[in-house]
Chain A
Amino acid sequence: MKIVAVTACPTGIAHTYMAAARLEKIAKNFGHEIKVETQGAMGIENRLTENDIRQAHIAIFAVDIEVEERERFNGVKVIQVPLQEALKNPENIFSKLQH
């Protein structure tokens, strides 16, 4: 499955980046292809292109704040989870996708 994801936390200091690393790792274990955009204090990094988003089967928002430039995801199925879910139980997010 092709997945795009966005991570963002209120302070943008650490959890944004930690969640991105977790999602990348666990997605690979599940055999998915994933690209994760981080919206932290360093700005938008690893930006998802129009192409990435159009080709994705699903978008995961692991965020505790609003996603920047959310209109890019119009027409894509989005699953939104609290950021801590991506840090504590990232497996849960992906096992839900299977059903």
Chain B
Amino acid sequence: MKPSDARSHARISSANQIVIHTLEEYLRETRIRRVHFGDGTTAPPPLAYVTNFPRLSVPLAGCHIMEVARSGRTETIKPVRSHAVFVPDHAWNKPDWSSRVDVLTLLFGVKQIGVSLVRHKGGSQVPASAVKASVHGGYDVPTHSILATLMVLAADHTRGPLPRLLTESLLHACLRLLKSPQKQRPRKAIRTYESICLYVQEHFHSPITRESVARNFGLAPNHVSRLFRKEGFMRFNDYLNLVRVNRAKFMLQNYSMTLKEIAASCCYSDPAYFCRVFKKTCKVTPTEYRTRSTTQVSAGSN
């Protein structure tokens, strides 16, 4: 691992630590007393926050003044600690960062949950500090279900204890996710190896070589060989042939093209060479493979 990688890993985990600590302390000391729902029933003013995912803001200290739309009217609300603001997807809110506030905002993306802990001294649009943490590996079932229920309540502007209890539950569920062990990002070598594999799968019908692939990825040809040996336990050319032979198998089974045509479409200019490669990989010749699979298909259909 390069030193820069180590630094970024350390930074991510320390951001998560700060957010976990803040959320734990909040939930130990505070009960949610009121939930404000925003909706999208008036046109958003310029620079209002509109996202295609829902958000939940929880002021920790100070007053998180903002405009929201509610039932066709634009209102200014002044939530403080023990309040929460839930903004569903495509609805809007426009925070006014002019007064001092510490606020925790949770972002509920399609796959990811993000948390932003912002401290504003007031009098400036730029926060004094912002800590961003995200839950990798996405939702578990409880978090997803609680969020879905809260969205239903937001759509109905439900009153009573349900919104505040569910908001508290959602915070507890997110805290649990944040504390669960994180999946490490795969090593760089594996990522490069995987992207080369994808590239080969997309370009097997062009005359690609170890050298052309290396050039395309800005790597030395020997480095490509090393990646395939260490990460894939095979040679680059064996992998390329494997991809081409697999494609040929599919065409032999499903299309009535000649061997020469199939060889050419997999970028083998010499059909005899194609047959040799095929036999080496599959232990049968292309013609035998075709006969065998067509007999099986017709036997299966009867």
Nearest Cβ distance between residue B114 and chain A, in whole angstroms? 3
Q: Please judge, given known A-B contacts A40-B107, A42-B107, A43-B112, whether A13 and B49 are in contact too, CB under 8 Å.
A: yes
Query: Which residues of B lie under 8 Å from residue A21 when comparing CB positions?
Result: 52
Contact B4 A42 (CB under 8 A): no
CA distance A11 to B105 in the complex (A): 9
CB–CB A41/B107 < 8 A:
yes
A41 touches B114 (CB 8 A): yes
Binary per-residue interface labels of chain A (43-71) against chain B in the complex, 1 for a CB within 8 Å, 0 otherwise: 10100011100100000000010001101
The A contact surface, by secondary structure, is: mixed
Bound: A12/B105 CA distance, A: 10
Nearest CB of chain A from residue B101's CB, rounded to whole Å: 12
A49–B136 Cα distance when bound, in Å, is 19
- B199 vs chain A, min Cβ distance (A): 8
Within 8 A of A (CB), among B183-220: 192, 195, 199, 216-218
The listed residue (A11, A54, A68, A84) touching B218 by CB distance below 8 A is: A54
Residues of B within 8 A of A87 (CB): 47
A13, B216: Cα distance in complex, Å: 36
Does B282 interact with chain A (Cβ within 8 Å)?
no
A residues 23-49 near B (Cβ < 8 Å) are: 40-43, 45, 49
Residues from 39 to 94 in B contacting A, C-beta threshold 8 Å: 46-47, 49-53, 55
**Are the CB atoms of B127 and A11 closer together than 8 Å?**
yes
Q: Which of A12, A13, A40, A54 has the most CB of B within 10 A?
A: A13
The verdict on A43 contacting B114 (CB below 8 Å), with A13-B55, A13-B107, A14-B51 known, is yes
Known: A40-B114, A41-B114, A42-B114. A71 touches B107 (CB 8 A): no
Residues of B close to A51: CB separation below 8 A: 195, 199, 216-217
> Smallest CB-CB separation from A9: which chain B residue?
B130
Interface residues of B in 92-135 (CB under 8 A from A): 105, 107, 109, 112-116, 118, 126-127, 130, 132-134
Q: Is B8 interfacial (CB 8 A cutoff)?
A: yes
Tell me the smallest distance from the CB of A81 to a CB of chain B, in Å: 15
| Bound form: Cα–Cα A17–B134 in Å | 15
**Contact: B115 with A41, CB < 8 Å?**
yes
Known: A10-B127, A11-B105, A51-B217. A40 touches B50 (CB 8 A): no
Q: Tell me the bound Cα distance from A45 to B114 in angstroms.
A: 11
- Kindly list chain B residues whose C-beta atoms are within 8 Å of the C-beta of A45: 109, 112
Q: Is the CB of B134 within 8 A of A43?
A: yes
Check A41/B116 contact, CB under 8 A, given A15-B49, A68-B8: yes
Residues of chain A contacted by B53 (CB below 8 angstroms): 17
Counting from the closest, the 7 A-B pairs by CB-CB distance are A42-B114, A14-B49, A41-B114, A41-B116, A43-B134, A42-B112, A41-B132
Listed by A's residue number, 8 A-B pairs whose Cβ atoms lie within 8 Å are A11-B127, A18-B49, A18-B50, A40-B114, A41-B105, A41-B115, A71-B4, A88-B46
Chain A residues within CB distance 8 Å of chain B? 10-15, 17-18, 21, 40-43, 45, 49-51, 54, 64, 68-69, 71, 84, 87-88
